[in-house]
């Protein structure tokens, strides 16, 4: 493989826009159509009409995946080889190092009743309150040799140092609403329960309007991922709001840009993400733009929010298209997995992908939707197939 030297850029560059959870199932309220079929899609449709489309199974047909596994595959890392749990990836996203023997946990700020029953599994807070809670929670965490860090909104991370293997613990989830959220399993489970409930007692003393529980729901061990540049020979940068994607890209040695107003939710700054992508194309060969909003809307079961997010992502793509030389750019837009708005959770249905290149053979697909993509020339792909396709069109 030929590696680009310092200061050298690829002649053809690439932009990959991931609309997290954008695809869906037909919904009765939409006359049997999906939110993607009924939303305004502007730039997304342009890529479909001027490129080639298909469907993606992030891992394999019939397999339900989370965003960590899906995006790892999209970036060319085979999850079956490299995945060691979500927690360490989330930790990297907030700047926490996870060493061998540590256990990292992705957590949510949550609300429990006085009797300890989970009421709300996700409670978003502002940055001011987050700093206050970090101080309070770390006072407790330090007694357990642990470290806590706020990520964004309702998201946070807890790392237990030298806590041992995680294979024998069962963590609570958002489905634990109406139950007491307990960690079950090994001795580590006992330590975690003592830690999170002691944190809860401290938070309950802070009064109303403050989340009173830290819900641990995804664990992980130290993770080592291959360098994106060493594997692909390209200088890469990431534009994202959520810590998970930032962490994944940092672990692969990619440049991660902090975007003002990137909230990882429906109110994220779509235009600033588009502007950042255009700027980064001047100095990098491959830009990975991730937008979490459709997935968050789906988990809230909000059709209106999902349609709004799709419209905004279409405008994001439209901005990039109008501010770059399309003869020297490969543009791919895709969903990393499917999230059902009716169910409020991920499902195994494949997600659409469209790829534009001035040299790509158009396949007659004119709209970026699930149904249209099923007729596309790319047929049905796996997540790990995406980068080889893009690199081939780049001539890299």
The DSSP call for residue 137 is H
Percent composition of the chain: helix, strand, coil (DSSP 3-state, to 5): 35, 25, 40
Yes or no: say if 62 and 348 are a contact pair by the CB < 8 Å rule: yes
Q: What is the residue-averaged pLDDT of the chain?
A: 93
Domain covering 13-83+226-394 in this structure, CATH number: 3.40.720.10
Residues 339-348: what's their mean pLDDT?
97
Q: pLDDT digits over 22-37, tens only?
A: 999 999 999 999 999 9
Q: pLDDT digits over 239-269, tens only?
A: 999 999 999 999 999 999 999 999 999 999 9
User: If you write DSSP's letter for every residue of 49-92 in order, what string do you get?
Assistant: HTSEEEEEESSSTT----HHHHHHHHTT--HHHH--BHHHHHHH
Please count the other Cβ atoms lying within 10 Å of the Cβ belonging to residue 313: 30
Which of 380, 11, 80, 14 is closest to 228 using CA atoms? 14
Residue 2 is predicted with a pLDDT of 41
Residues 91-103: what's their mean pLDDT?
93
**3 pLDDT more than 70:** no
Residue 166 is predicted with a pLDDT of 75
Which of 231, 218, 276, 284 is closest to 81 using CA atoms? 231
Beta strands 118-120 and 13-19, pairing class = unpaired
Cα–Cα distance measured from residue 128 to residue 150, given in angstroms and rounded to the nearest whole number: 11
Q: Which residues contact 208 (CB under 8 A, 6 or more apart)?
A: none
How do the domains of the chain map onto residue ranges? Answer: 13-83+226-394, 89-220
Query: Which residue(s) pair with 28 in the sheet?
Result: none
Q: Over the Cα atoms of the chain, what is R_g?
A: 21
Cα–Cα distance measured from residue 191 to residue 196, given in angstroms and rounded to the nearest whole number: 9
Q: What percent of the chain has pLDDT over 90?
A: 88
For residues 338-370, one letter each, b for 16 or more C-beta atoms within 10 angstroms of the residue's C-beta and e for the rest, the string is: bbbbeeeebbebbbbbbbbbeebeebebebbbb
């Amino acid at each position: 493989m030929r590696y680009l030297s310092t200061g050298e850029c690829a002649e053809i560059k690439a932009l990959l826009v991931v609309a997290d959870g954008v695809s869906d199932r037909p919904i009765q309220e939409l006359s049997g159509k999906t939110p993607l079929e009924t939303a305004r899609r502007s730039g997304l449709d342009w890529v479909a009409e001027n490129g080639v489309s298909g469907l993606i199974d992030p891992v394999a047909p019939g397999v339900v995946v989370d965003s960590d596994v899906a995006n790892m595959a999209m970036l060319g890392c085979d999850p079956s080889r490299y995945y060691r749990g979500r927690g360490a990836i989330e930790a990297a996203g907030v700047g926490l190092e996870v060493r061998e023997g540590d256990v990292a946990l992705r957590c949510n700020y949550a609300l429990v009743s006085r009797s300890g029953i989970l009421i709300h599994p996700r409670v978003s807070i502002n940055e001011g309150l987050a700093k206050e809670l970090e101080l309070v929670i770390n006072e407790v965490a330090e007694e357990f040799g642990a470290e806590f860090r706020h990520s964004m909104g309702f998201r946070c991370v807890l790392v237990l140092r030298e806590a041992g293997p995680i294979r024998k613990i069962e963590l609570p989830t958002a489905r634990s609403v109406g139950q007491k959220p307990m960690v079950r399993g090994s001795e580590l489970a006992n330590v975690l329960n003592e830690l999170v409930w002691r944190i809860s007692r401290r938070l309950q003393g802070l009064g109303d309007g403050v989340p009173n529980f830290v819900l641990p729901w995804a664990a992980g061990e130290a993770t080592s991922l291959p360098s994106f540049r060493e594997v692909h020979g390209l200088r890469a940068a990431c534009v994202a709001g959520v810590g998970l994607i930032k962490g994944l890209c940092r672990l692969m040695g990619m440049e991660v840009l902090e975007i003002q107003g990137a909230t990882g939710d429906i109110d994220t700054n779509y235009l600033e993400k588009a502007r950042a992508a255009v700027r980064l194309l001047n100095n990098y060969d491959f830009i990975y733009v991730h937008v979490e909003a459709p997935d968050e809307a789906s988990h809230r079961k909000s059709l209106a929010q999902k349609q709004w997010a799709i419209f905004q992502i279409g405008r994001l793509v439209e901005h990039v298209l109008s501010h770059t030389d399309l003869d020297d750019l490969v543009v791919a837009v895709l969903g990393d997995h499917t999230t059902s708005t009716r169910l409020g959770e991920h499902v195994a249905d494949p997600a659409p992908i469209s790829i534009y290149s001035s040299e790509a053979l158009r396949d007659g697909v004119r709209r970026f939707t699930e149904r249209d993509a099923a007729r596309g020339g790319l047929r049905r792909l796996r997540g790990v197939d995406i980068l080889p396709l893009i690199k081939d069109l780049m001539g890299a």
